[in-house]
Amino acid sequence: MKAYLSAFFVFLCTFVFSQSGVEPDVDQFKDIFRLNIAGLTGEIVVDGKLDEQAWSSAEIATDFWMKSPNVSQYADPLTEVKMAYDDKNIYIAAKCFQSEPTIIQTLKRDEFWDSDGFGILLDPLNEKNNCFIFGVSAAGVQMDAVRSSVSDMNRDWSNKWQAEVDVQPDYWTAEIKIPLSILRYDANLKEWGVNFIRNATFANEFHNWTAVPAQFWPVEAAYAGTLEWDKAPQKQKGNYNIIPYVTSGVSTSKDADTKTSFDFGLDGRIALTSSLNLDVTFNPDFSQIEVDELVTNLTRFSIFLPEKRTFFLENKDIFADYGSPGTRPFFSRTIGLDKNRNNVPIVYGLRLSGNTSPDVRLGVMNIHSATTENSFGQNSTAISAKKQFGRSFVQGMLLNRQAFDGTSAVSGDYGRNASVEAAYISDDGKYATWVGLHQSFKEGYTDKTGHYNGGFAYATEKWEFTSDWLMMQDNYFADMGFINRVNNYDAVRDTTIRLGYNRIFNEVEYNIRPVNGAVGQHSISGVSFLAWNPDWSFNESIAGLEYNLRLKSGHRFGLEFENRQVQLLYPFSFTGNGDPLRVDRYGFSNIGIDYSSDDRKPLSIRMSASTGDFYNGSLSQFETTLNYRVQPWGNFSVGYQFNDLTFPDPYGEEQITAWLSKVEIGFNRNLLWTTLFQYVDQSDYMGVNSRLQWRFAPMSDLFLVYVDNYDVLSMDSRTSIQNNNRALILKVNYWY
C-alpha cells in the first residue's frame, strides 16, 4: 500500500511540473496597475454620495478583471475607484454600476463575501505577505480583516473607521474613511500595495482591479498594484484608544444558589510608532463572544477550535504561524480557558506587536491568569521575531508558561518552548518551501523533546500540490500550544499514553475552469497521509480521491472516496455500550457525496452523506442544513447530523445525533440579535446562547447575553434533562 501511494504521488508530481508553463512575472503588477493618491484640497463628508469637489479631480482606477468564475479582462459591469487623503485619514470612493437589484445576505458586521459589496486591500509596507482588508456591502455593512500569507484571513480583527453607501437604480456608490492611525506603515515609504475587490454577487462573480491568478484569493497581497502617494503620509502622534467595559449579571447552576455579579475592566492601545502598537487589557471579559459550535468527534484525538477572543487577534499570525496544521507550538485558546472550555479569569495582558522596520516584525506578549479553587495561576509569555527577505522569511519564538500560587512561582511547574523556522516563497507565490525546528523544556524530561517539520507547495491556475512532513518526538510538550495525535487513550486502563509519531501529508489538485457553458469549475484532488510510530513501524495511512463540480449558477456537487489503514495501538471505543476495540490492524473504506444549492436564493440547502466500513464495523453519516433568508434582515437556519455506528458483538452500536439552529435578525446594521441552539448527544449537551448587540457609537456596544445550558443524561432507557447553568449578562463597552 505504501509503495503504491509513493509511486502514485511521484507520478503526479512529475506530471505537475511537466504541465507548468511560462506565466507573466508578478513584478509587472506594480508597474502595470498604478493609482496616484493626492492630498485633499477640501473636505469630504462620508455619506456615500461622492458629490465633493475633491472626487472630480482624483485619478480613476477602473477596467477591473474578472476573478471568478474565470480570470478574464474587462469585467462587466464597470467599477470606478478614486482615492484621496488628508493628514489623518485615507478616503476611498467607489462607483459600482449594476442594473439588477443588489443581493444582501445579512446586516451582520464582517459577513461580506456573500453580498454585493466593494473592498480594498492595503499593504502599507509593500511586504506582499500581510495586508489590511476593508469592505462594505451595498447595504453599508462593514467588514475589516487582516491577512497573512501563512494563516490566511482573520475576520475577527476589528477597528474604528467609517463607510456609507448610496444606492441608485443603475449603480451604487460607497465612500470609505480609514484613519491612518489604525494602519502599520513606514512614514518614508511613498508606494504602498493596493487592490480592489468587487463582489458582484447578483452575477455570482468576483472582480479584481489587478489580474489576480485563479489559484489565489482575491485578497492575495503578492498581486496587489501600486498606490503612489504624492508625498509619504505623516507619522501619527499621540494615537491611543481606551475601551472600558462594565458587566452585570445573574446566574444559577445545579450546584449553587442564584448569584449576582458586577465587574469592570478595560482594553487600551498606544501607537508607539506608526507601525508598532502596545495593547493592554485589564480584567478582560469575553462574555459577548459567540460560543463555539460543537461538532461530533469520531476520531481518536482532540479537535482544534478557532480563537474568537478579541485581545488575541491583533497580529496573531506572528505567534500562531509556527508549526503545521494540527501541531502549533502557540495556540492562544490554552490561555484563560481550561480543557473544558470554561473561562479562567485573566488578571492582565500586555502585547507589543508590529514592525520595528519595514522587513522586521516583533511580537511580545505576557498574560497572567488568576489562581482558582481548582488550579494555580498561570503566567504566559511569548516572544516572536520575523525577518523578511521579500516574501521569504526567517522567524524565531520563545514561549514560557509558569504556574503561580498567589505571588510565588510553583517550583517545577513550567513549560518552555523554542522554535526557529525559515521559508522560501517565490515572488509570485507559486513556489514555497519551509523548514522548522522546535524544542520543549519541561521538568523531568531531557530527551526526545523535539518536533521538526518541513514541506513544499506549488500552485498554478490548473495544478496545486502540497507536501508537508513532520517528526514529533514523545516528550515534546506545548503547554501554550496544540498538538494532535500525541495523546493516545487506552480505554481498558482508562489512561492516556504519550507517543510521538512521524507523518507525511501530500495533496495534489487539478482544476478546470471552462470559459463557456454552465460549469464554473471542475476539481479533482488526491490525498495521501502516512503516519509511523517513533520506531518507524506502521501507524496509519489515508488515501483519498475527491471530485468537485461548481456551477456558475451557484450549485455545488462533490464525490469522495477514502481508504484507511490503521494499526490501533491501544484499545479504544467509539460507542458507550460495548467493549473497546482490540489492538489490531484495521482496513476500511467509505464513499461520500455532498451538495449545496445556490445560497443567493431565499431558501438554500446543504447536504452530505457517506457510508462504508469503520474499523471492524460500519459507519453511515448524514448531515443537512436548511437556511431561509429574508433580505436583508433575517437568516434562519436549522442543521441536523446523524451518525450510525455498528460493530459486531461485543463492541456495541450507537446512533449519534446533533441539532444546531441559528437565528440572526438585523433590525438595522447597528442592532443585531443572534440566537444559537445546540444539541449534541455525544457531549450530553443542550444549550441556548442568545445575544443582542446594539452599536450605539462607532466600535462601542451594549450586549445583552442569555445563556442556558443543560446536561442530557440517559439512564435505564430514560432521558433526563438537567439544567447545568443559566445566566443573563449585560455588558457595555465604549471606545474612547
CATH (domain of 126): 2.60.40.1190
pLDDT confidence of residue 158: 79
Binning the chain into helix, strand and coil, the percentages to the nearest 5 are 5, 55, 35
pLDDT confidence of residue 46: 94
**pLDDT more than 70, % of the chain:** 92
pLDDT confidence of residue 12: 42
Q: Is 421 helix (H, G, I), strand (E, B) or coil?
A: strand
Domain membership of residue 475 (yes or no) is no
Cis status, amide bond into 632, omega within 30 of 0: yes
Q: What is the pTM of this model?
A: 0.83
Strand pairing class (256-273; 276-282): antiparallel
Domain membership of residue 270 (yes or no) is no
Which range has the worst mean pLDDT, 167-181, 196-210, 369-383, 591-605? 369-383
Interval 688-704 mean pLDDT: 91
Interval 163-182 mean pLDDT: 94
Which range has the worst mean pLDDT, 95-109, 158-172, 257-271? 257-271
pLDDT, tens only, 276-292: 888 898 988 777 777 77
DSSP one-letter code for 6: H
Q: What are the start-end ranges of the H helices in 23-118?
A: 28-32, 53-57
pLDDT, tens only, 508-545: 999 999 988 999 999 999 999 999 999 999 999 999 99
What is the number of structural domains in the chain?
2
Rounded CA separation 50/39 (Å): 16
Find the CATH number of the domain harbouring 689: 2.40.160
Task: Check whether 15 has a pLDDT greater than 60.
Answer: no
Among 565, 516, 521, 509, smallest CA distance to 540 is for 565
Return the H-helix or E-strand segment holding 14: helix 2-19
pLDDT confidence of residue 28: 79
Q: What rounded mean pLDDT belongs to the chain? A: 88
Rounded CA separation 479/477 (Å): 6
- Confidence band, pLDDT 50/70/90 cuts, at residue 20: very low
Domain membership of residue 199 (yes or no) is yes
* Residue 330 or 717, more confident: 330
pLDDT confidence of residue 341: 61
Domain membership of residue 556 (yes or no) is no
Rounded CA separation 10/668 (Å): 55
pLDDT confidence of residue 339: 60
Name 220's Cβ contacts closer than 8 Å, sequence gap at least 6.
Answer: 212, 429
Domain boundary among 211, 229, 247: 229
Domain membership of residue 595 (yes or no) is yes
Residue with cell string 452599536 = 695
Task: Check whether 103 has a pLDDT greater than 80.
Answer: yes
pLDDT confidence of residue 21: 36
pLDDT, tens only, 615-652: 999 999 999 999 999 989 999 999 999 999 999 999 99
Among 21, 194, 187, 168, smallest CA distance to 92 is for 194
CA distances from 570 to 302, 448, 618, 653 (A): 16, 21, 20, 20
- Confidence band, pLDDT 50/70/90 cuts, at residue 7: very low
Q: Is 314 helix (H, G, I), strand (E, B) or coil?
A: coil
pLDDT confidence of residue 335: 85
Interval 117-134 mean pLDDT: 90
Rounded CA separation 675/669 (Å): 17
Which three cell numbers, joined as nine digits, stand for 31?
Answer: 508597474
Domain membership of residue 159 (yes or no) is yes
pLDDT, tens only, 462-484: 999 999 999 999 999 999 998 98
Rounded CA separation 429/148 (Å): 13
* Residue 12 or 67, more confident: 67
- Confidence band, pLDDT 50/70/90 cuts, at residue 312: confident
Domain membership of residue 537 (yes or no) is no
Domain membership of residue 483 (yes or no) is no
DSSP E strand boundaries for 685-717:
685-697, 700-715
Among 218, 152, 480, smallest CA distance to 334 is for 480
Domain boundary among 188, 203, 229: 229
Domain boundary among 207, 229, 251: 229
Domain span including residue 636: 573-736
